Amino acid sequence: MTPSVDNNLKQSYQHLFEHLEQSRQRVQPSFVLQEIGTVKSVSAGIAIVHGLPNAGFEELLRFPGDIYGIAFNIDEHEIGVIMLGDYSQLNAGDEVKRTRRVVDIPVGADLIGRVIDPLGRALDGKGNLTCKQRMAIERPAPEIMTRSPVTEPLQTGLKVLDALIPIGKGQRELIMGDRQTGKTSIAIDAILNQKDKNVLCVYCAIGQKSASVAKILATLKHHNAFEYTVVMVTEGNDPPGLDYIAPYAATSIGEYFMEQGKDVLIVYDDLTQHARSYRELSLLLRRPPGREAFPGDIFYLHSRLLERSTHLNEAHGGGSMTALPIIETEEQNMSAYIPTNLISITDGQIYLSPSLFSLGILPAVDVGKSVSRVGGKAQRAAYRKVSGALKLAYAQFEELETFARFGARLDASSLQLIEHGQRIRSCLKQAESSPQSVAAQIVILLALTNGLFDSIDLAAMDSAQSAAIEGLTSLPQSIIGKLEQAETIEEHDKHIILDMLSQTLKPFTESTLRTGDKAQFMVEEANG
């Protein structure tokens, strides 16, 4: 090898070593201390982990395959974890890492019109969510001094509720009844009625069947309710951990809009499944069972959820979140553990009777067992004026109707009460997915309380109500505006409305009289 080539090689090696030395000096290795635990065992919906001594309560833990869980039981040597994903692929010995954060969910205006799961993953095939802000699913309820009284009504579009069991913005009203009595239908009708009323809706389906969820989504889509609704879904085959966090995640979404000064309606469908999922997880984690095998903190499970629904004062934006939790009773047993817990937490209940449902009286609201603890304070003046004595008259009718079934002879006044009560029941009937406007409801109630329907045959009541609503178009626009705002009805306006109703219902009254005359003639002929 010639000296020149040898020198060139030396220079190349020297440059290479200098470059390596400079690169080594530029690299500043950073060491991050990370706790890594190990899966000890996996069972239905839970995992036992050891080796994470500093993990906190409800901290989010990460398992292989981007599966997450919540640290729920913090014991001395191990942690009981609620799984939030498909845990079937996990095995004993898999690594577990801390995330140093709690479970959170994306929030923002982009959620409106979307169907998501409790972890914020899209289920509607419209692509991933683009929300930049996230909120923890477990948040403290607003303080007492930040709240305002519930005084503004939330119209459901259902006459039986808006007239007799009014719901206010910021109220928690329980919907309860046996299975297949129309609980979900009432909640969905309330959502449909919020169109063009500047109320955002959140519907949370907890452990529902896929067919039931698909039907609800189709109804919302058909009535264009997705323009102001967020839907959160967990299905029956999802892990119980997702059922457990679903209502809290949905409430955080509602709180985001409430804190912006907006009115929100949130529906939990249903909290029976939520309580059962929590009981399943608690028993698997070896927590001591109590009444009906539910854990001791089952009351706190729902109280900390429903206390987050409120009406904020103006200093905090003036927003509100109205909750309609749904609960399923068994054999009309309102005194079971979970129903009594929720009755004591909420501001009233709407009880649906299976006997009324079987008779075709829909919605099957049992007015006697239903109550709103906000009451008339969340009802506009026009409603109070036209429905003040309605609940009492209906209660008297139900008592007399029960009494008359024993074959008792009734006097004329009692028979008149029964006739009037039958018209009240007929007026309170309403088809599914057909909420009525405030003006239409007030006109019907005004005709009812003034006895204009009493002389109409029961078979013609539906047609008579439709005619009365159509008669609204003949009223002056100023009166219609007052009715829509549900302001106090002046005596002059009341006489104009009653004159319109008398003229509109006159053909139905005459038809009933002709039918009655014919029946009387047949009776006289039979008697010779």
pLDDT, average across residues 24-39? 78
Beta bridge partners of 417: none
pLDDT, average across residues 505-527? 57
pLDDT category at 329 given cuts 50, 70, 90 is very high
Average pLDDT for the chain: 90
Burial bucket for residue 82 (CB in 10 Å: 0-12, 13-18, 19+): buried
The annotation status of 184 as a binding-site residue, yes or no, is yes
The annotation status of 183 as a binding-site residue, yes or no, is yes
CATH 1.20.150.20 range(s) for the chain read 385-526
* Range with lowest mean pLDDT among 260-264, 337-341, 400-404: 400-404
The annotation status of 234 as a binding-site residue, yes or no, is no
Could you give the CA distance from residue 203 to residue 228 in angstroms, rounded to a whole number? 11
The annotation status of 180 as a binding-site residue, yes or no, is yes
pLDDT category at 3 given cuts 50, 70, 90 is low
Q: Which CATH number fits domain 105-378: 3.40.50.300, 3.30.2320.80, 3.20.20.70, 2.60.40.420?
A: 3.40.50.300
pLDDT, average across residues 274-283? 97
CATH superfamily of 385-526: ATP synthase alpha/beta chain, C-terminal domain (1.20.150.20)
pLDDT, average across residues 63-83? 95
pLDDT, average across residues 101-107? 96
Query: What are the contacts of 456-464 at 24+ separation with CB within 8 A?
Result: 456/423, 456/505, 456/508, 456/509, 456/512, 457/508, 457/511, 457/512, 457/515, 458/422, 458/423, 458/426, 460/508, 460/511, 460/512, 461/423, 461/426, 461/427, 462/426, 463/508, 464/505, 464/508
The annotation status of 156 as a binding-site residue, yes or no, is no
Look up residue 400 and give its two tokens: 């007399």
Residue 481's pLDDT is: 87
**175, 269 Cβ separation under 8 angstroms:** no
Could you give the CA distance from residue 528 to residue 520 in angstroms, rounded to a whole number? 13
Higher pLDDT, 514 or 211: 211
Could you give the CA distance from residue 44 to residue 420 in angstroms, rounded to a whole number? 57
Residues annotated catalytic, as ranges: 373
Could you give the CA distance from residue 188 to residue 336 in angstroms, rounded to a whole number? 26
Residue 410's pLDDT is: 80
Look up residue 134 and give its two tokens: 């996230």
CATH 3.40.50.300 range(s) for the chain read 105-378
3-state secondary structure of 40: strand
pLDDT in tens, 38-61: 999 999 999 999 999 999 999 999
CATH 2.40.30.20 range(s) for the chain read 36-102
pLDDT in tens, 285-316: 999 999 999 999 999 999 999 999 999 999 99
Assess whether pLDDT exceeds 60 at residue 513. Answer: no
Assess whether pLDDT exceeds 70 at residue 31. Answer: no
pLDDT in tens, 217-245: 999 999 999 999 999 999 988 999 999 99
- Contact residues for 339 (Cβ-Cβ < 8 A; gap 6+): 176, 327, 329, 333
Assess whether pLDDT exceeds 80 at residue 7. Answer: no
Gyration radius (Cα) of the chain, Å: 31
Query: What are the contacts of 367-372 at 24+ separation with CB within 8 A?
Result: 367/160, 367/164, 367/165, 367/391, 367/394, 367/395, 367/398, 368/395, 368/398, 369/334, 370/164, 370/165, 371/165, 372/165, 372/166, 372/167, 372/171, 372/173, 372/347, 372/348
Tokens 């967990």 belong to residue: 234
Residue type, 298: I
CATH fold group of domain 36-102:
Elongation Factor Tu (Ef-tu); domain 3 (2.40.30)
Concatenating the DSSP letter of every residue in 296-358 gives TTHHHHHHHHHTT--BB-GGGT--EEEEEEEEE-STT-TTSHHHHHHHHHSSEEEEEPHHHHH
pLDDT, average across residues 148-152? 95
Residue 359's alpha-carbon distances to 59, 329, 355, 364, 425, in angstroms, are 51, 19, 6, 9, 12
pLDDT in tens, 171-196: 999 999 999 999 999 999 999 999 99
Assess whether pLDDT exceeds 80 at residue 26. Answer: no
Residue 32's pLDDT is: 67
The annotation status of 80 as a binding-site residue, yes or no, is no
3-state secondary structure of 259: coil
Whole-structure pTM value: 0.90
pLDDT category at 527 given cuts 50, 70, 90 is very low
Residue type, 304: R
Assess whether pLDDT exceeds 80 at residue 512. Answer: no
Look up residue 499 and give its two tokens: 């004159």
Residue 30's pLDDT is: 66
pLDDT, average across residues 97-116? 96
Nearest to 424 by CA among 400, 403, 407, 408: 400
Q: Nearest 5°: phi and psi at 113?
A: 90, 5
pLDDT, average across residues 402-408? 76
Look up residue 352 and give its two tokens: 């649906």
